[in-house]
Chains A and B, each alone.
Chain A
Amino acid sequence: MSADSTPSKETANPGVDGTELIRFDKVTKRFGSNTVLDSLDFTVSSGKHVTLIGPSGSGKTTILRLLMTLLKPDEGTIKVGGEYLMHEEKGGKLVPAGEKHIREVRKNIGMVFQQFNLFPNMKVLRNITEAPVHVLGLDKDAAEERARELLDLVGLTEHLDKYPTQLSGGQQQRVAIARALAMRPQVLLLDEVTSALDPELVAGVLDVLRDIAHTTDITMLCVTHEMNFARDISDDVLMFDAGRVIESGSPEKIFTEPEHERTREFLSAVL
Chain B
Amino acid sequence: MNNWSWSYVGEIMPDLLKGLWITVQATIYGSLVAFALGLVWALALRSPSRWVTWPVSIVVEFIRNTPLLVQLFFLFFVLPAWGLTFAPLTTGVIGLGLHYSTYTAEVYRAGIDGVPPGQWEAATALSLPRRRTWTAVILPQAFRRVVPALGNYVIAMFKDTPLLAGITVADMLFQANSISATTFDYLEPITVVGILFVVISYPTSLLLRALERRLVR
Which residues on A are within 8 Å of B, measured CB to CB?
68-70, 99, 103, 106-107, 109-111, 113, 115, 117-122, 130-131, 134-135, 165, 179-180, 183
Contact = CB atoms under 8 A, between A and B. Distances in A.
Contact of B124 (A70, A115, A165): A70
Interface of B: 116, 118-119, 121-122, 124-130, 132, 136-137, 140-141, 144, 217
Nearest to B140: A121
Contact of A103 (B116, B118, B127, B141): B127
A131 B121 contact: no
Contacts of B128: 130-131, 134-135
Given A130-B136, A134-B132, A119 B125 contact: no
Given A110-B125, A121-B137, A180-B125, 4 more contacts: A106-B124, A119-B122, A121-B140, A130-B128
B130 to A, nearest CB: 8
A183 B140 contact: no
Given A70-B121, A113-B121, A165-B217, A121 B141 contact: yes
Contact of A117 (B118, B136, B140, B217): B118
A113 B129 CA distance: 20
B119 A68 contact: no
Contacts of B119: 117, 119
A237 B122 CA distance: 26
Given A131-B127, A135-B127, A183-B126, A117 B132 contact: no
A264 B53 CA distance: 54
22 contacts: A69-B124, A70-B124, A99-B130, A106-B124, A106-B127, A107-B127, A111-B125, A113-B121, A115-B116, A117-B118, A119-B119, A119-B137, A121-B137, A121-B144, A122-B136, A130-B128, A131-B126, A131-B127, A134-B136, A135-B127, A179-B126, A180-B125
A121 B123 CA distance: 13
Contacts, number: 59
Given A119-B137, A130-B136, A134-B132, A113 B118 contact: yes
A117 B122 contact: yes
Nearest to A102: B127
A68 B125 contact: yes
A180 B132 CA distance: 17
Interface pairs A-B: 7 shortest CB-CB: A131-B126, A117-B122, A117-B118, A111-B125, A121-B140, A135-B127, A134-B132
A131 B124 CA distance: 10
A123 to B, nearest CB: 13
A188 to B, nearest CB: 11
A103 B129 CA distance: 9
Contacts of B132: 134
Contacts of B118: 113, 115, 117
Contacts of B121: 68, 70, 113, 117
B127 to A, nearest CB: 5
A131 B140 CA distance: 17
